[in-house]
């Protein structure tokens, strides 16, 4: 029975329904629902509307989070590089007071309390309209074994994420549309357990330069290295790195060819930490190399490691044929390293003192300022 038949049928029942007793109304509803297949509660509401023609007034909830809260959230969202609500909420609990003391966030005490009590879902809802406008402005495309290799064990993604010290690494080419000639490449490295990220830029693809960049990264990291995992690029699968790992007692593994998911941790960082700031342009001058390394060695590594929370998968199960994922509370790599208990007392103290001296808003401004210089260098301005 279609709608054009159901409505006249209901209209003929309404006079009888209004005159009937409680039991009679129940029989009429049973008859109508059986013949039409409609829900009983829906039919009752429909009869009320058709019989009395009174529009239902929805009760409006009082607005708890007003314009000031939305604007403050938007500013914080931009300061911390556009995280989702689950990653932004723990940052708010930790950083709102500090940003107010730095003078970066000028809000009332009431607004500050609301920022701290808002749930992650509420944060996403309050930011939704502004995010849509922001995304509309960012509509540009994104595309994103020799004898030595036989001596290096294959590793998939079977990492023990409770053990600190295993590093995945990869090279990111800044070659633009052509791989001809020498261009800058970024050696990107991430610690599996904490998500601590480091990078170093090199000009060209020489194995020796890649090896020196790897040693420079190791000197900056606050934890002891236990192992290295790379892809099958000849920049990594060579005697330089193999002898170094054997000498230093490091476990050296590699992924399967043409299987990017084997390097899932570093592939994610390649986009969020390298491609998003620098884009897909070509960089091939010494001046650009100096500027990119200045960014990697200072503001960018501090901002990403101290103020960009990492979400770790806690549980994955399949419910009614659909995978459901549950994640741990988002924490920054700095927090995860401190909680791991694997750092020396000196390293912990040095990290805590460094964190106390950092202003995330100032770091973000300096990163944006330096990134603004890169296209000028490329265009010769």
Whether residues 121 and 169 fall in one domain: no
pLDDT given at position 54: 57
- Radius of gyration of the CA atoms of the chain, in A: 29
Query: Is 161 among the domain residues?
Result: yes
pLDDT surpasses 80 at 135: no
CATH code, domain carrying 375? 3.30.420.10
Whether residues 356 and 219 fall in one domain: yes
Provide the CB-side half-sphere exposure for 81 (13 A, CA). Answer: 20
Q: What is the SS3 assignment for 309?
A: coil
Whether residues 237 and 170 fall in one domain: yes
Whether residues 177 and 265 fall in one domain: yes
Taking a C-beta distance cutoff of 8 angstroms, is the pair 77, 34 a contact? no
Query: Is 139 among the domain residues?
Result: no
- 331-335 own/partner pairs: CB under 8 Å, 24+ apart: 331/90, 332/91, 332/305, 332/306, 332/307, 332/308, 333/191, 333/194, 333/195, 333/196, 333/197, 333/304, 333/305, 333/306, 333/308, 334/196, 334/305, 334/306
Highest mean pLDDT: which of 142-146, 294-298, 308-312? 294-298
Whether residues 225 and 369 fall in one domain: yes
Residues of the chain with pLDDT > 70: what percent?
91
Mean pLDDT, the chain, integer: 86
Query: Is 231 among the domain residues?
Result: yes
Q: Greater confidence, 79 or 156? A: 79
Taking a C-beta distance cutoff of 8 angstroms, is the pair 201, 289 a contact? yes
Mean pLDDT of 9-34: 87
Query: Is 142 among the domain residues?
Result: no
Whether residues 370 and 247 fall in one domain: yes
Query: Is 330 among the domain residues?
Result: yes
Q: Residues 6 or more apart from 64 whose CB is under 8 A from it?
A: 114
Give the pLDDT band of residue 380 (cuts 50, 70, 90). Answer: low
Whether residues 300 and 331 fall in one domain: yes
Cα-Cα-Cα-Cα torsion 275, 276, 282, 288, nearest 10 degrees, comes to -100
Whether residues 125 and 160 fall in one domain: no
The mean-pLDDT minimum among 129-138, 195-204, 222-231, 349-358 falls in 129-138
Tell me how far apart the alpha carbons of residues 53 and 124 are, in angstroms, rounded to a whole number: 38
Q: What is the SS3 assignment for 154?
A: strand
- Please give the residue range of the domain that contains residue 44: 3-52
Query: Is 372 among the domain residues?
Result: yes
- 146-151 own/partner pairs: CB under 8 Å, 24+ apart: 146/237, 148/237, 148/238, 148/239, 148/242, 149/232, 149/237, 149/254, 151/242
Whether residues 73 and 171 fall in one domain: no
Query: Is 141 among the domain residues?
Result: no
Domain boundary among 101, 134, 167: 134
Tell me how far apart the alpha carbons of residues 381 and 373 are, in angstroms, rounded to a whole number: 9
Tell me how far apart the alpha carbons of residues 202 and 184 are, in angstroms, rounded to a whole number: 6
Query: Is 58 among the domain residues?
Result: no
Q: Greater confidence, 138 or 259? A: 259
- Give backbone dihedrals phi and psi of 198, rounded to 5 degrees, phi first: -140, 155
Whether residues 194 and 77 fall in one domain: no
Give the pLDDT band of residue 92 (cuts 50, 70, 90). Answer: very high
pLDDT surpasses 80 at 353: yes
Q: Please state whether beta strands 227-230 and 166-174 pair in parallel, antiparallel, or not at all (unpaired).
A: parallel
- Give backbone dihedrals phi and psi of 138, rounded to 5 degrees, phi first: -115, 45
Convert the pLDDT of each residue in 212-261 to its tens digit.
999 999 999 999 999 998 888 778 888 888 888 999 999 988 888 777 77
The mean-pLDDT minimum among 19-28, 93-102, 208-217, 369-378 falls in 369-378
Whether residues 196 and 313 fall in one domain: yes
Count of structural domains within the chain: 3
Whether residues 155 and 99 fall in one domain: no
């Amino acid at each position: 029975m279609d709608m054009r038949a159901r409505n006249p049928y209901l209209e003929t029942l309404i006079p009888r329904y209004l005159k009937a007793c409680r039991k009679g109304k129940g029989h009429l509803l049973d008859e109508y629902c059986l013949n039409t297949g409609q829900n009983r509660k829906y039919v009752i509401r429909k009869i009320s509307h058709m019989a009395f023609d009174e529009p239902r007034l929805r009760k409006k909830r009082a607005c708890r989070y007003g314009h000031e809260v939305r604007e403050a959230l938007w500013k914080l969202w931009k300061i911390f590089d556009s995280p989702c609500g689950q990653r932004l909420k723990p940052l708010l609990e930790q950083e709102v007071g500090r940003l107010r003391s730095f003078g970066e966030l000028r809000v009332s005490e009431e607004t500050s309390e609301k920022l701290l009590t808002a749930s992650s879902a509420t944060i996403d809802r309050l930011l939704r309209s502004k995010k849509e406008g922001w995304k509309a402005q960012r509509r540009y495309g994104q595309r994103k074994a020799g004898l030595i290799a036989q001596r290096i064990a294959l590793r998939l993604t079977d990492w023990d994420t409770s053990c600190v010290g295993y590093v995945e690494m990869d090279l990111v080419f800044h070659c633009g549309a052509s791989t001809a000639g020498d261009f800058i490449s970024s050696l990107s490295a991430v610690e599996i357990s904490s998500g601590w990220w480091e990078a170093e830029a090199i000009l060209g693809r020489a194995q020796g330069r890649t090896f020196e960049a790897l040693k420079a990264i190791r000197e900056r990291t606050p934890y002891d290295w236990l192992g290295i995992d790379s892809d099958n690029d000849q920049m990594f699968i060579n005697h330089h790195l193999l002898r170094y790992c054997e000498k230093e007692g490091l476990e050296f593994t590699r992924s399967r060819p043409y299987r990017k998911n084997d390097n899932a941790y570093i592939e994610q960082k390649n986009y969020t930490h390298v491609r998003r700031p620098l884009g897909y342009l070509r960089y091939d001058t010494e001046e650009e190399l100096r500027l990119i390394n200045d960014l990697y060695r200072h503001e960018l590594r501090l901002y990403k490691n101290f103020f960009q929370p990492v979400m770790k998968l806690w549980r994955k199960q399949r419910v009614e044929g659909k995978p459901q994922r549950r994640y741990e509370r988002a924490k920054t790599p700095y927090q995860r390293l401190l909680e791991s208990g694997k750092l020396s007392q000196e390293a912990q103290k040095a990290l805590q003192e460094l964190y106390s001296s950092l202003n995330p808003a100032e770091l973000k401004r300096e990163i944006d300022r330096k990134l603004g210089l890169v296209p000028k260098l490329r265009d010769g301005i």
